Chains A and B, each alone.
Chain A
Amino acid sequence: MTDVRDWPFRNPVLTASGCGGSGRDLAAYGDLSTLGGFVTRSVTLQPRPGGAEPRIVESPSGLVNAIGLQNPGVAGFLDDELAPLVELGATVVVSIAGHSLGEYAELTRTLGRSPGIAALEVNLSAPDPLGSGLFDAREPFQAAGVIGSCRRDLRDGVLLLAKLRNDVTRVAEIARAVAEAGADAVVVGNAVPAALPDGRPGGLSGPAIRPQVLRCVAEVVRALPDTPVIGCGGIMDAEDARAHLAAGASAVQVGTALFHDPTTAFRIAEQLGTELDPPAREDER
């Protein structure tokens, strides 16, 4: 399903994982069905209570966060969060994170057979994967191993996205590995490894990383012209989103901006929706 014209997203603007609450919270500020998709926070097999405070600290044009992957676990997600998202009209993308290949496979099987899920997004780019107890997917062969596990267990009709870290020296190489392992598209990037003022590991997001992510998007597009790319990092307005699309991204994800203005993604979707329909890089060539 690497042809973006077959994608389930009705426009090129999605939320970024971990930035839209459970969906109900964001729906207070706009109609989720007008977004290209809603990406959930990363769901793990077991519930996670999240980390210590402070969890988020402001830095210039950015936020450093260490939420600790707080989530209700896959069973809790399916019981409490998926149905409301579907009822709200969202095109649901479930982000998953696991501590072993077997766990990724189990998450894929469990979620893959649940109706109402348009895509899985495999989180291969947590800013502190080992401290968070996640499978070490930093090397291309490891990332490919995770995607291979998911691909084998995923039914047809559900898109498989790999969310990669925006490390400009490695991103094209990792993108190639996960594309060969069966990822339908890559999401570039995630919060950059950083530290909170007290020294604990966290991830820096927001406009501070935007130019850096844009460079990574361009690198992947150049290296892998046939692999669709979704840009993610510091997008605050339609102009930022257009820069990603101009660099060759097929879609974008809006994250940290929602913390500053919960209407951002809806506004960008509306503005871009009138310019691009459908969001196809193929059409632009």
Chain B
Amino acid sequence: MTAPGPLHVRGEVLATKTVGAYQHLSLVLPEVGERSRPGSFLAVSVGDGHLARRAFWIHRVGPMGGHRAVVEVVVEPRGPGSRALAALPVGSSLDVTGPLGRPFALPREPARCLLVGQGYAAASLTTLAERLRERGCTVRLVLGGADDAHVLEPLESRRSVGRIEVVLGDLAPAVVDALTDVDVVYVAASTQVQGAVAAAVSGADVTCQVALERALTCATGLCRGCPVPVLDDAGETHVVRACVDGPVFRAERVDWEALA
């Protein structure tokens, strides 16, 4: 066994606030925050006839209201499940599984890191940026969104980031332009942006990790509803699961053509 695995717990909403287009929920989840790593996510059971889980990147973990490791997630209300979660008042209880997924890998030596976050997916990069700074890495952050309301908290991000750039609209060309003086790229964005960055770094001496966001049903590796085609060393394609075999993949392993 490596890191302790996920837990299924009954949690409680400790705080909720609207920031731009998103709702930030602070959740008391016994032991889940302690086990979380950069790139981990949660799956929430919505109930009320909704059987599929709703998955959210873990944005932050920290002390709050006398609790040691409160977990903050960023919810974009866009379907019945996420709207119901975004509307939960403080004190509501909910069933949550987490932390889930393979996290981001950190460089062994101090490296020049570029982090790309689009919309709420940028939440997956917050604790990553902190860990990278602790390891002596330089961190540049490119945040994307359709408009200001969909860019995740650029001001708060400055604490752990050296340089920050906000791109409204088409993110992929801006990221490709930013790929200079970089050793490692982490991309939490649409599959299209991730594929474009993967293509741009292909063959270059740059490591690229992507946090894939696919439609998940169980989020725990049981249902096989989130197939990701990956290439092995021999170039053969295998179908793995985004939720437990990812969501973080090395970009060169993903068969981007088949995924699209």
A residues with CB within 8 A of B: 18-22, 25-26, 28-29, 41, 49-50, 53-56, 58, 60-63, 65, 67, 70, 206-207, 256, 258-263
Contacts and interface: CB of A to CB of B under 8 A. Distances in A.
Contact of A55 (B8, B45, B221, B225): B225
Contacts of A53: 214-215, 227
Nearest to B217: A56
Interface string B1-22: 0000110100000000000000
A243 to B, nearest CB: 19
B8 A29 contact: yes
Say whether chain A's binding surface is mostly helix, strand, loop, or mixed.
Answer: loop
Given A58-B51, A259-B52, A65 B225 contact: yes
B51 A21 contact: no
A55 B52 CA distance: 12
A28 B225 CA distance: 19
Interface in B1-59: 5-6, 8, 45, 49-53
Interface string B215-251: 1011011111111000000000001000010000000
Given A63-B217, A258-B218, A260-B45, A55 B227 contact: yes
Interface string B103-116: 00000000000000
Interface in B202-219: 214-215, 217-218
Interface residues of B, number: 25
Contacts of A62: 51
Contact of A25 (B95, B217, B220, B225): B220
B239 A49 contact: yes
A262 B52 contact: no
A58 B95 contact: no
Contacts of A18: 223-224
A63 B220 contact: no
B97 interface: yes
Contact of A70 (B217, B222, B239): B239
Contact of A58 (B5, B50, B226, B244): B50
Can you list the 6 inter-chain pairs with the closest CB atoms, starting with the nearest? A25-B221, A56-B225, A259-B218, A21-B222, A56-B217, A61-B49
Interface in B160-189: none
Given A50-B227, A54-B215, A56-B217, A262 B222 contact: yes
Nearest to A259: B218
A49 B224 CA distance: 11
A261 B8 contact: yes
| Residue among B5, B8, B225, B244 with max Cβ neighbours from chain A (10 Å) | B225
A206 B51 CA distance: 8
22 contacts: A18-B224, A19-B223, A25-B221, A25-B244, A28-B5, A28-B6, A29-B8, A50-B224, A53-B227, A54-B215, A55-B224, A56-B223, A61-B49, A65-B223, A67-B225, A207-B49, A259-B218, A259-B222, A260-B52, A261-B95, A262-B97, A262-B222
Contacts of A258: 218, 222
B222 A19 contact: yes
Contacts of B6: 28-29
Contact of B51 (A20, A54, A256, A263): A256
A38 to B, nearest CB: 12
